[in-house]
Structure 1
Amino acid sequence: MIPAEAIDHIEVLRDGAASQYGADGIAGVVNIILKKTVSHLDMDAQTGANAYNGDGWQYQFGFDGGLPLGDDGYANLSGQMYHTDHFVQKGIDSRTGVSDDPALSLSEETRQTLSLNAGKHLTRSLELYGFATYAHRHGESYQDYRTPDILPQMYPQGFVPIEALEEQDFAITLGLKGRLPAGFKWDLNSTYGFDDDHMSLKNTANPAYYADYGSSPTKARTETFNHMQWTNDLNISRKFSLGSGRFINLSFGGQHRLEIYHIGAGDPVSYYKGGTQGFAGLMPENAGRWNRDVWAGYIDTDFHPTRKLDIDVGGRFEHYTDTGNAETGKIAARYDFTKRFAVRATISNGYRAPTLLEEHYSALNVTPFGASASLPVNSPAASSLGAQRLKAERSTSLSGGFVMEPVDNFHVSVDAYQINIRNRIAPGGSFQGGAAENAIGLTGATLPGGLASDNVTATYFANGASTRTQGLDIMADYALSLRRYGHLNLSMALNLNRTRISHLATDGTGSPFLNAQQIGYLTTASPRSKIILNAYWTIGKWSVNVRQTRYGETVNNVTYQDQAPAALQYSQSQFHRFVNTPAWLTDLEVGFQATKRIHLAVGGNNLFNVRPRRMPLENSYLGTLFYDNNSAGIPMTGGYYYGRINVSL
């Protein structure tokens, strides 16, 4: 929700971040640095489409401008308007024999974002700063086609329900920072953020409501969600010199965070006797408001016992009013043998409390032949299926590697890592048929008639397993001058990783929380390897960027659907092992500096229209959902081609 035009650069802290930044830093911290530049105005516009499909048209406009506030202040305003049309990958519907089901698609979306970043010295040693973001998003997504027999009185040709989202998101930070006489620096800031989502269905109806009242609304609000966070931070730091190039950096601080999560019910027609077609709205029984406070304190010391050795030790204590206490820490070290070669290593532990959403979220999705429910883990409905109260995730991480510059302008970094996560939170349970129907009934919901019992499922968030992830990251870049043939920047990034289950938890009935399919989502749904090769060449007014990205293999256990043999349909214990084979994707952009202030570019992402493998017909729901949407990596959208103009004033 931050406009890209507002971003100056992005910093990534990968190791031991939880000890300083808290639970959100279990896998590292991404620090987005906003622009502070003044006396300029930059504008950009881009448009393009997925040409192979002929849809998914996109366009965006953006700007970034700054003004000085006196001699020592700045104000930077950025904004973006973005729109994309529906992208639909049509397949032959097994019910009708024609391509009339657009459910395998990407949403239509319109998004407006704004960002303001400002700062000003009040005195020589006191600075006031602040930044704010605002975003509005409207999105619409196709659901499965409903055949004419669902409600012929209203839709004699059948219909496609449309899920709609209306979202408002904003955040504001105000802070003061300065210096104390003893040489300490301090930073006091407060951040308030709020996100509000209103979900609705269009082009829909409730058949049971029509049968009872002779009519049905075609549009209904189905649910609302909003989440608020108010965070207050105080950070203090000082650098102590020990002489001879040695020093100690000391930092410590405290934080308080208030979180509030709210779920609102839908219109009565959206949940009446099975609900509207597309998905059922949330009932008053599903609604509620939950909150918690988080108190934290940390201390971090970075010291150089010698000029070549740097040691960083940190610790953090947190208290959650709903999940208890957490202690995290890290020890990191780096040794520079020469200015061209250094080794580094880190050991740390992390803590992630279950989010309020994971504790309380609920939903009921109804398809033409089935239904799936997500149950609040602390509800009687989930308890009937053996659910237990969520515990926090805890992690232990080890990493080590080296950085080197063997020759000028050639940089290489290599890091190996191992991350153990205990009590990992994931959607758990593999309940179907009567057990799932009974649990859904305990929520107060009524399912529509005519559903295949084996295609009614229920899940809830659970501490499903403990995992071990091992991996290797290699990055390199080389900048070279080609003299009269311009300049060439080459870069390479390689990631190899493997995640395995080290412990599989069981529910209150003694059954494993995760089935083979859910285990696959944690272990093999993401590529085992990824390679990015990039070459950026500039000569005169021209520039060319070529990028090759290789996504490694992904494997998922996919469900047998309506066209499979009856004994396998919708099974939660027997699956088809589906493999998405590795693939290379090519991106190309050519740019031209038309004038001092105008830059033009044309390009293509996934230039040769590479797509994932299609699943067998027996694993494609209704014959139309033929891509494995739970597999990360190769997008189903194929090639995207665009043109862009940048103007700097």
Structure 2
Amino acid sequence: MPSSVRTMRRTLLLASGMLCVFGSRAVLAADAPPDGQAVAGVSGVSQAKPRGAGTAPTPSGGAVPDQSEAVIVTGTREPHRRARDSLSPIDVVTGAEIARTGQTNVTDALAQLLPSVTRPAVGIFDGAPTDFISLRGLNPNETLVLVNGKRRHNTSFLYISGFADAATPVDIDLIPPALIDHVEVLRDGASAQYGSDAIAGVVNIILKSTDHGGTASAESGLTAQGDGFVVQAGGEKSARLGNNGFIDLSADYRHRDHTVRNRDDDRTGAVTTEILGDPESTRYDFGLNAGYELRDGVTLYSTETYSYRFTDVNQVYRLPSRLPALYPGGFTPHQTTFENDFSASLGAKGDDLLGWSWDLGSTYGGDFLDNNLRNTANIALYDATGSTPRSVHLSNLSTTLLTNDLDVHRAFTVPHWAHPVTIAGGIEHRFETFGTGAGSPASYLLGGSQAQVGLLPSDAGPHSRVVYSAYLEPSTRITDAWQVSVAGRFEHYTDFGNTYNGKVSTRYDITPRLALRGTVSSGTRAPSLANEFYSALAVGPSSASGTLAANSAAARLLGAAPLEPERSTNITAGVVAEPLRDLHLTVDAYQIDIRDRIVSGPGIAGPSAVAALGVQGIALSPELSPDDVSASFFTNAASTRTRGVDVTLSYRTRFRRFGTIDWDASANANYSRITHVNSLANGLSDLVAQNSAFLTTSTPKNRVILGGRWHEGRWDVLLHELRYGETIDQLTYFEGPDAYSTTDFRRFVNHPRWLTNLEVGFRPVSRLRVAFGANNLFDTYPSRIPRENGYYGSEPYDSDGSQIGINGGFYYGRVGYEF
């Protein structure tokens, strides 16, 4: 271990011991009250504060307001609703809390703060660059992501393994972190309120909306093994726009080096295959949020983000015998991706359109991937012609989303009814596209390039659909203590028809300190266009596996049927309590039944797979045995039931001149099981043991976060213990008699793990904060897998389970300035 890392660890361990005198970090604490968080808007859009009403920084990092008092705009259409008064469970995480985790990715920060949030713990091959989050152990496509209440577009990348199988998730790391005011996480089904994808819940990212001030920050760190060096720098500046407006501008830069956690390759006796770890990546994020109030009370608003990301992903090492004329020392192909991502919103809103509050807006966004291979070769092409390019273009992928929406709400006084009735409603039009572009000829001819085969021209092309929807959401109080809200939504998809969803929510305040709440709802998750039209072929040194478009003739040859939407029924019941001053407790139990889950169908190997790939137009290398070739497609495989409970607790202890501790404890436990398995058109089961594990046991059965934040004067210290429950996967064999089997797998248990996170911060001057910290302070790793279940024995950890990460400890220094 490098001496610099050892020195940093000693420093952090000493700080950990000092913290024991005071206690231990609070999810509900912040350096300063969040900006732009005063008034709720229609459709969840945060309203700008009046000019000059921004929040000044808290120089001491001292006392902060309880975030359960924060006004929320997610899960409700009523203005001025506080988090603690919500009818559904909701978490509020401030930008300051995200920064104090030491994570330079927002997804990593939220997963560290909220036990109900899951992110991929391991990424290999082309799945490594894209980050995502999910709620309650469900697929990330079952969590809807909003920015300022507006639906965010998905990434163009499609996952084909693990608990994210079949997902084209939203990558929230492409939003500048310094522009984020706070994040509201609704842990409840909300398809009736927001439309498709909101089965597990909603993540609403609220951007800053003030007219003065700003921040700048920089961070650098590396892992305990001395790799994965990270450097990040960014900032945000707010300014007055005319006499009645604001503009917030932000930029962020992040670079991370490769991490490698492979062990010796059985073929070479050395670490020559380096596929397990983080890819090298460089990212630039830019953002703008602006608003201007006209004289007649109408406010114009605009939000834009743009990101560019480059990633370099290692593929499996090829021996010198593969192509000695060009690579006498062997070669490792590298997949490189150039990604451009943007989103732009423009709209107007007001408070008096014939007595109605209204919001009319349009959002257009897209994600564009340019995939390439370097340090590769088309061996069959070289054998036939004596020449092959060493770099090829694999494909272009694109996703776009245009959303036009109108939302209105108004409170009515009803005769003989003691309380106002709020009526909210709206209409929405969405135009979605998914496009694919062919690779260069050398990437797909005669079996294609090593590691990845380029997209065939016959599989390239644009695909699109239109979605129309309308919703109605009345809410009122039956008595002073009893609240009720009802929502209904209709959606029409031009590719598969109509959906209808409803939700009923209620809350009863037994006393000012004790309340019961519950919801019952139905939900829908439409298959993505990528689920229907994506195809690809991955080539290993001695194997090939293809994904066929679900609606293609090739997939039908193997038993595929047209995809249908996933449909769900959600039930949530909970308690909100404040038994003591400054002690806040919530307990929410839930059950989520999902029918026709979309996952990769059973991998079918042998001559039938070769024949199906041939129908798709994919030519295989003659060196491959048919038994080492497999093909699959996306299918409505099974129905599942997920039961769980979320618990959150916060408490504040004041020690007068010795400072304050904001304690917190939170936990999630959830258990999923298969309730029904569908069959393919040819009578085969839609689900094999490996995909069943992806659906039910590849995320932790439980997660616990315990800790606190001590702050006094110029100092603050955060300490958290995180427990990750076990995960269970069914691993593919890569060696032995069951090598590359699509039916026989090894059951593997990732045993529970505890991690320690620590940060110590100091303000040498009032606006400057310097911090040193560690994520996974004691360098903990997951359970190790048998050699025969890793590529040539080189993978020590499960690449499909999403428990803890595989990089071990990460140690960092961070500086932030407020102006």
Tell me which interval the TM-score lies in, with the shorter structure as reference length: over 0.9
Q: Which has the higher contact order (CA 8 A, sep 6+)?
A: 2
| Superposition TM-score, scaled by structure 2 size | 0.78
Mapping 1:47-446, distance limit 5 Å: 47-51=220-224, 53-180=225-352, 182-241=354-413, 246-446=419-619
Mapping 1:455-494, distance limit 5 Å: 455-494=628-667
Distance in 2 (alpha carbons) for counterparts of 1:489 and 1:291: 50
What's the offset of the Cα at 1:246?
1.6
What's the offset of the Cα at 1:169?
0.5
Larger strand fraction of residues: 1
What's the offset of the Cα at 1:454?
2.9
What's the offset of the Cα at 1:561?
1.6
What's the offset of the Cα at 1:130?
0.8
Is the CA contact (8 Å cut-off) linking 2:315 and 2:451 kept in structure 1? yes
What's the offset of the Cα at 1:16?
4.0
Is the CA contact (8 Å cut-off) linking 2:211 and 2:241 kept in structure 1? no
Distance in 2 (alpha carbons) for counterparts of 1:224 and 1:253: 36
Q: Percent identity?
A: 43
Distance in 1 (alpha carbons) for counterparts of 2:418 and 2:314: 63
One-letter identity of the residue aligned with 2:545: S
1:469 aligns to what SS in structure 2?
A: strand
Is the CA contact (8 Å cut-off) linking 2:604 and 2:631 kept in structure 1? yes
Distance in 2 (alpha carbons) for counterparts of 1:534 and 1:225: 43
Deviations 1:211-267 (A, max 9, x none): 222221111110010011110000111012459962211101100000111011100
Distance in 2 (alpha carbons) for counterparts of 1:553 and 1:34: 36
1:273 aligns to what SS in structure 2?
A: helix
What's the offset of the Cα at 1:493?
1.0
Distance in 2 (alpha carbons) for counterparts of 1:583 and 1:501: 26
What's the offset of the Cα at 1:372?
0.9
Distance in 2 (alpha carbons) for counterparts of 1:182 and 1:82: 48
1:636 aligns with 2:809: no
What's the offset of the Cα at 1:619?
1.4
1:55 aligns to what SS in structure 2?
A: coil
Q: What is the aligned partner in structure 2 of residue 527 from structure 1?
A: 700
Is the CA contact (8 Å cut-off) linking 1:12 and 1:30 kept in structure 2? yes
Distance in 1 (alpha carbons) for counterparts of 2:707 and 2:613: 51
1:14 aligns with 2:187: yes
Deviations 1:422-474 (A, max 9, x none): 01101112211222222111111111133343332211110000000000111
What's the offset of the Cα at 1:540?
2.0
Deviations 1:371-391 (A, max 9, x none): 111110011111111000000
What's the offset of the Cα at 1:551?
0.6
Decide which moves more: 370-379 or 94-103.
Answer: 94-103
One-letter identity of the residue aligned with 1:15: D
Distance in 2 (alpha carbons) for counterparts of 1:60 and 1:70: 33
Distance in 1 (alpha carbons) for counterparts of 2:627 and 2:785: 21
2:667 aligns to what SS in structure 1?
A: strand
1:493/1:436 Cα in 2 relative to 1: closer, same or farther (>3 Å)?
same
| Superposition TM-score, scaled by structure 1 size | 0.98
Distance in 2 (alpha carbons) for counterparts of 1:632 and 1:559: 16
What's the offset of the Cα at 1:181?
5.4
Is the CA contact (8 Å cut-off) linking 2:602 and 2:742 kept in structure 1? no
Q: Which runs of 5+ in 1 are unaligned?
A: none
What's the offset of the Cα at 1:71?
3.4
Distance in 2 (alpha carbons) for counterparts of 1:519 and 1:382: 21
Deviations 1:621-640 (A, max 9, x none): 20112211110111111100
1:10/1:245 Cα in 2 relative to 1: closer, same or farther (>3 Å)?
farther
What's the offset of the Cα at 1:280?
0.7
The number of residues matched between the two structures is: 645
Distance in 1 (alpha carbons) for counterparts of 2:294 and 2:391: 53
What's the offset of the Cα at 1:89?
1.2
Q: C-alpha root-mean-square deviation of aligned residues, in Å?
A: 1.2
Is the CA contact (8 Å cut-off) linking 2:219 and 2:815 kept in structure 1? yes
Distance in 2 (alpha carbons) for counterparts of 1:436 and 1:517: 19
Decide which moves more: 448-457 or 79-88.
Answer: 448-457
Aligned equivalent of 1:515, options 683, 688, 694: 688
One-letter identity of the residue aligned with 1:628: D
Distance in 1 (alpha carbons) for counterparts of 2:358 and 2:529: 32
One-letter identity of the residue aligned with 2:386: G
Deviations 1:96-140 (A, max 9, x none): 122211122221110000110000012232111110000000000
Distance in 2 (alpha carbons) for counterparts of 1:308 and 1:124: 37
One-letter identity of the residue aligned with 1:595: V
Q: What is the aligned partner in structure 2 of residue 577 from structure 1?
A: 747
1:588 aligns with 2:758: yes
1:484 aligns to what SS in structure 2?
A: helix
